Amino acid sequence: MIKQLLLFSCTILLISSFIPKKKKEFIPPGTVKINDTLFVDETEISNFSWLQYQLWVCNKYGYHSQEYKSVLADTLVWRAKYTDNEPYVNYYLRHPAYRDYPVVGISYEQAVAYCKWRTERVKEFICLSKKYDLIDFEYRLPTKQEWEFVSNNGDGCFSNGGKDEKGRMTSNRRRPIEDTLSWNGVIEDNADVTAPVYSYWKNKFGLYNMIGNVAEMVNEKGICKGGGWRSDLEDCRVGKDIPYTKPTAWLGFRCVCVVKKRKC
């Protein structure tokens, strides 16, 4: 009986060694799966992610190169009349305390270049890891339709970034004067400007800050969506197109990744 069991076990092991193991499903790093082909960044691109990009370009091309200068975020966007934001000029992008805050001061062209760079780096990782089936994919800015779909949890109607049933703020946006302070004089949240990318509640797709915090670029140049920390509720409507002409302190972005299997 023992010999029969040993023989059976050896046979199973021998057969299993010839059965190809199913490779893992490819989930693009940093993203949440929406469907079989569309993946969306869980959060806005952070200062830390952008600094990694800057460092890679600096190491490859040199500190004084034009390539490096072209990827530098514009920290002077914090310098505006009648504001006390001067410390953010020096500290917001570079200080470790702000590493998980959304990057701002980025142009449309810089955001597009980042998406291209990210695609290339992840493809390098895929080639080295050999954990996944042959696939083709691309990180890019979302279309307006894609952005609106995932912001509304896939619903057809447009939602607002207001308050929940308990009266709590559900997004980082401009608050009316009467809502700025709570009953004991304490501000409702700790966000003087932006908030960390994992703040507030994620939506049904698992995405943070689709509304508020920073407005997000789409692939149509000059249009952003969702409103930011300086936006009122009207601009935070999912269906509202917000124009921009240059980098600002309230404008950031997140990527989507479109995946398709590559034929052998």
DSSP 40-82: EESSPPBHHHHHHHHHHHHHHH-TTSHHHHHT---GGGG--TT
Per-residue model confidence (pLDDT) at position 129: 72
Per-residue model confidence (pLDDT) at position 153: 75
Place of tokens 């050999």: 130
- 41: in domain: yes
Q: What is the CATH number of the domain that holds 139?
A: 3.90.1580.10
Q: What is the pLDDT of residues 236-245, one digit of tens each?
A: 889 999 999 9
Closest CA to 206 of 42, 46, 28, 30: 42
Per-residue model confidence (pLDDT) at position 176: 56
Residues of the domain holding 228? 25-159+168-261
Q: What is the pLDDT of residues 139-191, one digit of tens each?
A: 999 999 999 999 987 654 445 545 555 556 678 887 655 454 443 333 445 56
Closest CA to 57 of 105, 103, 118: 118
- 17: in domain: no
- 250: in domain: yes
- 125: in domain: yes
The number of folded domains in the chain is: 1
Per-residue model confidence (pLDDT) at position 181: 44
Per-residue model confidence (pLDDT) at position 163: 58
Q: Which residues of the chain have pLDDT under 70?
A: 1-23, 81-83, 132-134, 154-169, 175-191, 262-264
Per-residue model confidence (pLDDT) at position 172: 87
- 6: in domain: no
Residues whose CB is less than 8 angstroms from the CB of residue 212 and which lie 6 or more positions away in sequence, other chains included = 161, 171, 172, 173, 200, 226, 227, 228, 229, 231, 236
Per-residue model confidence (pLDDT) at position 166: 56
Per-residue model confidence (pLDDT) at position 85: 83
Q: Is the pTM for the entire model greater than 0.85?
A: no
Closest CA to 148 of 54, 52, 264, 34: 34
- 173: in domain: yes
- What does the DSSP 8-state code read for residue 187? B
Segments in 142-251 forming alpha helices (H): 144-151, 177-180
